[in-house]
Structure formats: structure tokens, C-alpha cells
Structure 1
Amino acid sequence: MNIKIVFVGTSDFGIPSLRALKESRDVDIKLVITREDKPKGRGLEILPPPIKIEAGNLGIDILQPPSINDDETIQRIKSIRPDYIVVVAYGEKLSTEVLSLPKKGSINLHASLLPELRGAAPINWAIIRGYKKTGVTTMLMSEKIDAGEILLQCETNISADENAEMLHNRLSHIGADILPSTIIGHFKGRIKPRPQEIERVSYAPKILKEHCKINWEETDGIIHNLIRGLSPKPLAFTYLDDTLVKIVKSRLSDAEKSGEPGEILNITKEGALVSTGARPILVTELQIAGKRIMTPYQLLQGRQIKSGQRFY
């Protein structure tokens, strides 16, 4: 069997999937389409997308158009006559024309159990909203984003202290496990697409700054979920006096409720015990604006933080 595909992806989430498809004897990756190189970091160094680097290492042809929907790219895809376009974390909506180019359809790997958490940030919102489980979905793409018919799904539990990066990495490998079998199963007619249950639809919009501000009057559980759901980036934030402080890591505690919300009750080598609207929470890593990530105890030693101060 020789299933011809065009792989479309940008971020490192797609790397395990690209490798898995390359290793499949039944799948032939004719082309990888990824985004253009972009400036990144403080020095604004021009860097290639992770998928470009991996595709180069695997010896696959690469195309980096300004838009996947431009005429030149469409003609290139047409010349390949692929069975499938396979999209994993690309970052641009595919036009109806592009979606219609492959013979068998366009398949997307999405990092949630659709129809829950449609949108750009399903991993972050699964943790922020306190989900106990999530997973990945492969679907046939439709004109409406993340609304296509479901092919396969795989569920996994979210642990109590798992952050967004940890879950991202796990889901990228779980997705890679089911993507080849999705393509082969659909190609052979063994996997029948099924519509999403509209009454169960929820959304996971792009994370904005307004989503990242900690409200210390919330419960310790809600605050802990926000911190880990935004770690390691963009990070939940608060203020100490007039200084921006990003909270990198936290832990739930057994301490009894006391103090005003946001008040730093105590600082030890374990972390800073901070009052919330319920039990206090233990902040174990934070970053003051312009500084490196440190523990509260290190900041206490440098007299940059002390008990009795209040986050707001």
C-alpha cells in the first residue's frame, strides 16, 4: 500500500506524528508544508519552525509558503495528487479549495476529546478548567474549524500537578500513536467517520493576557489550575507592590484558611504560603519582572520578598 500524503504542521507538537508517519510502510510523505522562518527571542534571531528542522532531518521535501491557500501552493499540492492532507498544529486555516484537493480528504489531529475544547488552546484550557481527563482526536476537516467528523480518539487522565508543557508532550505522542492507524483505517474503509455531538461542544480560545491574571479571592484549586495550565508559558501573573510577578509553579497545601487573599503568610525552603479565597496555596517557583525564575526562599534571602506582603 502507498498512501500519498502532504503533511502540514509547524510546532513541535507535530514532530512525533511526522516521525510516526515517516516510519509507516503504508504512508508516503510527499511534501511537508510549514510556516515561514520567523524572528524569535530577545535577539529576534530568524529561526525555522520545528517541523522544518525535523522534515529536513528525515529527508522530506519542504515548502514554506506565505500562505497555504495561495495559488502557487495549491498548484504544488495538485501536482502531487495526494490521498490525504494531514494537518497537525499548523497555525493557519485551510481554505475550502485546499481541503478539497486530496482524493480521500483532509485529516486533522486535535489535542482534545472533541467536541469538547474546540479552538487554539485545548491543552491549556483542559488544565485551567480542572478537567480530570482529556485526549486527542483525529477528524476529517470541514470548513468550520474543529467541527469535522470524528475518526479516532484516545483518552488520558490529567494528573493533579501536571502542567501544560507536560500534557502537551504526552498528547503529542498519544496523537502520533493513532495518526497512522487513522489514515490507514480510513483509507481501507475500516474507520467510519461520525458526527460530533453538537450539545457537547465547548471552546478553548487563544490565551490572552486577561486570562492570565490571578484572582487571589478564588479557591486554591482554581488558582493552582490556572498556574499549571499556563506553565511554562505564558505564565499566570500577579503584582507585588507595583512589580509584575509571574507564578511558575505551585502546590496545594493542607494549611487552614487564614489571612487576606494574596497575603504571603510564610516563606520556607518549600515555598511561599499564600492566602486565597479558600485554603492557602504553596507557591514554589516565581519570576519577578526582569529576573530569572527563582524560589520564594531565594528571593527572601535577597530581601526581594517577605512574609506579610500581599499579591494583588
Structure 2
Amino acid sequence: MKKRNLALAMVLAMAMTTMGSATVFADDASDDAAGNDYTIAYVPTTMNNPFWTAMLGGIKEEMEAKGMDVDSQLVTVDANSDQATMNNYVNDLIAQEVDAIILAPMDCTAVTEALQACEDAGIPVINVDTAVDASDKVVSIIASDNYKAGVECAKDMMSKLDEGSKIAVMDQPSGTACVQREQGFLDTVGDYFEIVSTTDTEGDTAKTMTAAEDVLTADDDLAAFFCINDMGALGCVQAAQAAGKDDILIYGVDGNPDFMGYVADGSATASAAQQPSVIGQKALDAAIDTLEGKEVEHDQTVDVVLINKDNIADFDVTDWQ
């Protein structure tokens, strides 16, 4: 195992001075840690979303199950939804000589620079949630069945609305997972609905709320929103409530426990629930297997399930599925 105390101190100092909004947590991996002495880095899109916290929980749980010391063998950085910042952090992690990186890109194309740097340094990357364009530069892509998430939302919406109903889509074309969700939705609805608008709101609650307000103003008879994640769908809930539109259907993707309360009380219609902790566990397994020279499946899919008011009692929505 490589010693990293000095390198880490330098990285942390650099991060504090050049990227004050991000956080780095790590210590030198203990030589006598049970299991192995690998250092694993977790690089999510942002930590300002409980989905990524839940995935981190799965990584930690699997590390502990393998006898690893989370405090000394896990490095976590927060790119704050900025791909340039993420790329800079990846370079820092390479300098720190981490053994493997679990990464979810903000921009599936712009992340290629960082992936190339990892390849050049011989550091394996496990790609989670949103597939990168340069799939040959990652050991494995572990993600929810994002296409199915869109399909399930579409089928439920079609069962509740008449043909020709007006709907709006809130998407995020920079993310492969989001594109897959939207494509699953669009392929399923076909020309059943009139899609009055499609807006890139980056899955952000505030941006989606503003866009939803505009749509509601322009189309008084709007029937539904499809959003590529629950944080965006929450923005639609807020806009609909402010406009006094309590009959509009609102669909999201994630199964965010904070959002499920709105599904339970009818403020939102449904969410195609993911299993981020399972993705995290599988990612950690893939990282360790790769470092130990074992063969790892390149494409791994984790199932999703649609949760609406009819079946929500069947799930423990106080936590991620």
C-alpha cells in the first residue's frame, strides 16, 4: 500500500484554497485494517441530493461488511454539480494515488478528460448512475434501469389521463440516465399526449419550479408533468400548489423519501423508485474485485419500481428502496 499522508495534506490544502465549497474527507489507509488496505474514492455529481447520500451509505455498509475501515479507506469529494470541478478533483485523487474511483458524472461527455487521466494513471473507475460516453474507459457501469423508469411513469400516466391531454416534460439532456428516462417515457406515450413543452431544468428544484410556473401560466389546461428526478418534481409540486392546481399529475424518478410524502398525500402522483444503496454496494464490490484481479461485469442494471398512492403502503418510504 502506498503512503498518502503528505499527498493528502497537499490535496486538502489545495482544495481549501481553490475549491472552498467542496469537501474532502480522507486519512491514510491503515496498514493493519482488516480485509485489505485499498483506498476508494467516491465522486458523485453532488452531495446536495439525498440520492447520493444514500448511495454513499451503501458503499460504507459494504466496506464494513468486507472488514474495511471507512474512516481511513474512503475518500469523498463534492463536485457541487460542476463537471470542471469534478475533473479537478479527480486529478487531485490521482495525485493522492487512490486505488479506485467510484464516479457519477455531471456531464457524461466532459468527464472524458478525467477518465483519460485515470486510465493513464492505471486507476480503475466504476461508473455509477449516469453512463459516461467513453464507456471503454470505465471498468463497469452500474445504474438503475432508467429506461424502465420512464416507461413505468408513462404507463401510469396514460392509465389516468385521456388521449390528447397536455403534458410538460422537465429533463436534463447532459445526463445519460436522465436521457434514458425521458426516452422511455416518450417511446411509451408516443402520440397519446400533446407535449406542450420540454425544458432542461437540470433536475434542480428551484429551476424546475420556475419553469413549471411558466408552463402553468401558458397552458391553463395542463394535465401533467413528467420530471427526470424527484427534486425536479418537487419544484412542480410547489408551482402547482402556488397556482392552486391540485388536479395536475406530477411524476418523478428516484423514490426520494422526502418526496414520497407528497405522493402519499396526493400532492404528487408517483415516483419510479431507484435503489441507490444497492448501486453503492455493487460499485464497491466491483472496485475491490477489479483490484484483486477478478473479472467484473461491465454493464450492471438495478431494477426500479413505480410507487404511487395505490401501492405506497407496501413500501417503507421512510428510507430509499
Does the TM-score normalized on the shorter chain lie above 0.5?
A: no
Compare the two structures and name the one with the higher strand fraction: 1
- Which entry has the higher C-alpha Rg, 1 or 2? 1
Which structure is higher in RCO with an 8 Å CA cutoff and minimum separation 6?
A: 2
Compare the two structures and name the one with the higher helix fraction: 2
TM-score, structure 2 length as denominator?
A: 0.28
TM-score, structure 1 length as denominator?
A: 0.29
